[in-house]
Amino acid sequence: MRIGLGLAALLTGTLTAHAYGGCPPTGQWWQGERATTHQALLAQAAQQQVVLLGEQHDAADHHRWQLHTLAGLYALREDMVIGLEMLPRSAQPVLDSWVAGQLTEAALLTQSDWETAWGFDPELYLPIFHFARLHKIPLIALNISPELRQQLSQEGFTSVPAEQRYAIPPPLPASPAYQTRLQEVFNQHAMGQSPAMLERFTQAQLTWDIAMAHGLAGAAETGALVVGVMGLGHVTYGHGVEHQLEGLGIRHTFSLLPWEQADCNAPDPALADAVFVLPAAASSEPTN
């Protein structure tokens, strides 16, 4: 299990925190404490610099929702770029070749080293890859290798030359609320009581967040609508990637999450700028 898995497990456990008099309808956007229309919500999102689409990595409905949302946004903003948590920066030439129509699915997966870099079922993601290639939408690899992430989080950013870390800057410190959540995850994984270990764990998560934020911010410099596809834990409550984007000067970020209906509770308005209500799914392990 990855360190990050527990973060999403904790966060998704809070998705039904606020009671509601009736069941929010499935297939509906929910913003604040009320439903809103697809047209109004997507028009609002299309005016942003960066839109974040969260996911539970192994949930098929989450990826279907992402694809439909991407299509709706593309209908409003053809100047779109899609950023992917799933692959490290070293895979960027492979993504370029895929969008250019030069690779088969098998070559994409082999050359990107998908199984090692990500490992989740590629069938969940391939519809998004094909959507991007069909419309010639650039795909941007947002992640960095686990080895580089570990080096940056443990040794510090100044110890790694800028060209070796893709010029990624040091992250902003975690907000108090994010630090509390990270400590809860740390405790859940029984990693011990060492403050030094907690600090390394926190810095690893912040490094993950700033790496993706940096990739998104760079793409946004072109003026395109940049849509980041990533795990729920990086999006929820704005503590992760959105917080780091603010530090990079991106002031117009819009966070969207899938939200599975359960127990007729309404989504916590603080979760994201809006959520899309899905029917309750069969239980599976949440992922970051």
Instruction: Indicate the domain borders of the chain.
Output: 5-13+38-277
pLDDT, mean of residues 163-188: 93
User: What per-residue confidence (pLDDT) applies to 191?
Assistant: 63
Residue 15 has pLDDT above 80, yes or no: no
CB neighbour burial string for 9-25, b if at least 16 within 10 angstroms, e if fewer: bbbbeebbeeeeeeebe
Distance of CA 196 to the CA centre of its chain: 27
User: What per-residue confidence (pLDDT) applies to 7?
Assistant: 47
pLDDT, mean of residues 170-181: 95
DSSP string, 128-166: HHHHHHHHT--EEEEE--HHHHHHHHHH-GGGS-GGGGT
Distance, in Å, from the CA atom of 238 to the CA atom of 269, rounded to the nearest integer, reads: 12
Element (H, E) at 241: helix 241-247
Q: For residue range 86-131, what is the model confidence (pLDDT) as tens digits?
A: 999 999 999 999 999 999 999 999 999 999 999 999 999 999 999 9
Structure token digits, residue 224: 């395109």
Q: Which long-range contacts (CB under 8 A, 24 or more apart) does 147-153 make?
A: 148/88, 149/204, 149/207, 149/208, 149/211, 150/204, 152/207, 153/200, 153/203, 153/204, 153/206, 153/207
pLDDT, mean of residues 239-248: 98
Mean pLDDT of the chain: 90
User: What per-residue confidence (pLDDT) applies to 196?
Assistant: 86
Distance of CA 83 to the CA centre of its chain: 9
CATH number of 5-13+38-277: 3.40.50.11550
Residue with tokens 């994010």: 178
Residue 239 has pLDDT above 60, yes or no: yes
pLDDT band at 282 (very low <50, low <70, confident <90, very high): low
Tell me the C-alpha to C-alpha distance, in Å, between residue 253 and each of 228, 241, 245, 248: 10, 10, 8, 12
